[in-house]
Structure 1
Amino acid sequence: MQLKAIGQRELRNDNAEIMRRVEAGEGFVVTRNNKPVAQLLPYRPEAPSRPPLRDVQVLFGTLPPVDADRWEADRNAADEVFGADDPLEDPWQR
């Protein structure tokens, strides 16, 4: 994308026209005293980036092992306080 240089004064005086042009896909470099100070570009939402699978696998490899018996005991203790929660059960069908 070729960026056109516009002065700060031009941006202030013609902001509606410049914004229409940005919406249409143009980009600008805003200058003050003939020195670039900002870029005005069309908005393009960025897709969230995900780390590569190998990095996630390395990260998971650094976690301590899970004690299944301790996990089950903690879960049962929580069920005593909060009640059982079956993720496959539909609470509206009770």
Structure 2
Amino acid sequence: MTAQPEISQRDLRLRSKEIMDAVEGGQAFVVTRDGHRIGELVPLRRRRQFVPRSEFAALSRTAPEVDLERFRADQDATLTDDGVDPYAR
């Protein structure tokens, strides 16, 4: 993992278009003021892309088969029904 470049508050103000274009491209920055780190400027997560049905079907054909009995046993082992209503007051 690479370190995020540091930019001063002044650089952010003077080069805002250039820096925002870099953030849009996926670059993150640490913002400093008077040499002290005060925050991070990070890109938002991108929305998931639509996957065509044919591509999903092709990927699904190579996926491992689900053993339904083992799946149910895993659920039963993980989930507990202790009879307590978590919403009861």
Per the normalisation by structure 2, the TM-score is 0.52
Tell me the number of residue pairs that the alignment of Structure 1 and Structure 2 aligns. Answer: 55
CA distance in 1, matches of 2:27, 2:42: 7
The answer to which structure has the higher helix fraction is: 1
Q: Which residue of 2 aligns with 1:25?
A: 26
Identity %: 35
Distance 1:32 1:42 in 2: 20
Q: Shift in Å at residue 18 of structure 1?
A: 0.5
Q: CA shift at 1:33, angstroms? A: 0.5
Q: Which residue of 2 aligns with 1:92?
A: none
Does the 8 Å contact 1:2/1:27 carry over to 2? no
1:42 maps to which residue?
Answer: 43
TM-score normalised by the chain length of structure 1: 0.50
Larger Rg: 1
Pair 33,62 (structure 1): closer, same or farther in 2 beyond 3 Å: farther
SS at the partner of 1:3?
Answer: coil
* Distance across 2 between alignment mates of 1:62 and 1:37: 48
Q: Which residue of 2 aligns with 1:13?
A: 14
> What is the RMSD of the two structures over their aligned residues, measured on CA atoms?
2.3
Q: Does 1:61 align with 2:82?
A: yes
Unaligned runs of 5+ in 1: 46-52, 65-94
What's 1:50 paired with?
Answer: none
